[in-house]
Amino acid sequence: MTAILGHPWRHRLAIAVGAVAAMTSVQAMSAETTINWLHLETNQPRLETWHEIASDYEALHPGVHIEFQFLDNEAFKAKLPTLLQSDNAPSMFYTWAGGVLKEQSETGKIRDITEALNADDGAWRKMLNPAAIDSMTFNDKVWAVPTHSGVVSFWYNKELLAKAGVDGEAIKTWGEFTDAVKQLRAAGIAPIAAGGGDKWPLQFFWSYLVMREVGQEGLDAARAGDGFLSDGFVEASQKLIDLGKLEAFQKGFVAASWPDAAATFADGRAAFLLAGDNTATPANQALAATDGKGLAPENIGRFPFPAIEGAPGLVTDDFGGINGWVVTKNAPAETVDFLKFYTNVDNAKKLAARGVIPTTFGGEEGLVEPSMKLAAEQMSKETWHQNYLDQDLGPNVGRVVNDISAALAAGQISAQDAVQQVQDAFELEM
């Protein structure tokens, strides 16, 4: 062994070390900043706009490079914790706000951007919707740049409703909605398209029912520690069971994925779809439908999730996602600056034209789709905006909410058991 480590070998080692050191220093000298942008976007036109915004920024800031990294939705969620703690952490990544972002903010792996927002007398902060900023705020610090938000509402196939003699515009209360479901069933039409296999599409129903049953105060109190066992939650769960009993959902909905459900609606095989604001756009219909076309825009109607008679929730209380970008701890400083550029009014308008409702004031002027303009208008008058509950309540309670929503709609558990499961998961987190 000593022979191996003799002079000639040591000499060679020294040369090798020297060479590596030399290479590193060369690299350091020519160092240019690279922003690694980790996303999960599959919508091609939207991606093109991102690339456009990125190259605009690169042109304005020589030496800054923006590289795109893609991960599939589920892979992204599974891989992120490991990725954030490795040397390969991206500079910025997508967020749905809520409990997951809160957990990330406690790890010290992501950057607090409060200062950047407040700089120059809050110039950047004033550009963005304060409610959206609030949803990215934990412990009085802002942890992500909100870029767009959405609202979930009922979409309906006008032709199918007419066939069953239902007037979609007239549906204002839950009772009227369930009557419509019964009428559609009687006419031999599948009332609602739902993706029970993915579970979260049914979580939309439970969440909205809860919002209508307990109202903002009720949900805030539950989250603050009162828990989920009160009558309102049980009642909301029971309403979902009752809806399922009316055979409200298409056949085989428990195993259907979200794309299956979207196709069921876009093909005209079911009358209602509870979904996000871009459902009725021709691009989205073409993507969802089996025939590559989908329903014509004039055949699609929309109404907000109905109110429940005698319950505190308002019909103007909106439910929908709030999204944005998180900057990681070790990201180059330019990342924050780039996000400021990304959220300026011009870029927000460009993105709005691609079918998102921007959180930048004035950005909504870029919306071209009439159905999305209506959704944006509804959001501008909203009395409360609740983020997706599976995000808001954190990854664990959130998944339980998804589980019970699917189980309730299929009549697999009782309302009491459902809220108890949520409560059990919630207590473990406390």
Per CB under 8 A, residues contacting another protein are 1, 74, 77-78, 81-82, 84-85, 100, 103-104, 106-109, 196-197, 251-256, 260, 290, 395-396, 399, 406-407, 410, 412, 428
Q: Which helix (H) or strand (E) holds 38?
A: strand 33-39
Among 283, 260, 255, which residue's Cα sits nearest to residue 270? 260
CB of 397 to another protein, least distance (A): 9
Q: Specify the residue, 77 or 182, whose C-beta has the smaller distance to another protein.
A: 77
CB of 425 to another protein, least distance (A): 9
CB of 173 to another protein, least distance (A): 30
Q: 274 has which bridge partners?
A: 154
Q: 142 has which bridge partners?
A: 137
User: Whole-angstrom Cα distance, residue 241 to residue 186?
Assistant: 19
Instruction: Report whether 57 contacts 64 (CB < 8 A).
Output: yes
Q: Specify the residue, 332 or 395, whose C-beta has the smaller distance to another protein.
A: 395
- Counted residue by residue, the chain has a size of 430
CB of 107 to another protein, least distance (A): 4
CB of 231 to another protein, least distance (A): 26
CB of 406 to another protein, least distance (A): 7
Q: ∠13-19-20 over CA atoms, to 5°?
A: 90
Fill in the DSSP letter of residue 341: H
Q: ∠119-347-41 over CA atoms, to 5°?
A: 105
Q: Specify the residue, 1 or 28, whose C-beta has the smaller distance to another protein.
A: 1
CB of 430 to another protein, least distance (A): 11
Q: Specify the residue, 78 or 296, whose C-beta has the smaller distance to another protein.
A: 78
Residue 270 to residues 107, 159, 190, 273, 313, Cα–Cα distance (Å): 45, 11, 5, 8, 27
Among 99, 213, 195, 196, which residue's Cα sits nearest to residue 403? 196
Q: Specify the residue, 243 or 425, whose C-beta has the smaller distance to another protein.
A: 425
Q: ∠269-275-281 over CA atoms, to 5°?
A: 80
* Long-range pairs of 182-185 with CB within 8 A, sequence gap ≥ 24: 182/246, 184/160, 184/271, 185/246, 185/247, 185/248
Q: Specify the residue, 50 or 143, whose C-beta has the smaller distance to another protein.
A: 143
CB of 325 to another protein, least distance (A): 19
Q: 39 has which bridge partners?
A: 70
Q: Specify the residue, 314 or 410, whose C-beta has the smaller distance to another protein.
A: 410
**Strands (DSSP E) found in 103-224:** 137-138, 141-142, 145-149, 153-157, 190-193
- Residue 55 has which token pair? 């190259």
Q: Specify the residue, 340 or 399, whose C-beta has the smaller distance to another protein.
A: 399
Radius of gyration of the chain measured on its C-alpha atoms: 25
Q: Specify the residue, 254 or 266, whose C-beta has the smaller distance to another protein.
A: 254
Q: Specify the residue, 122 or 411, whose C-beta has the smaller distance to another protein.
A: 411
CB of 292 to another protein, least distance (A): 15
CB of 77 to another protein, least distance (A): 7
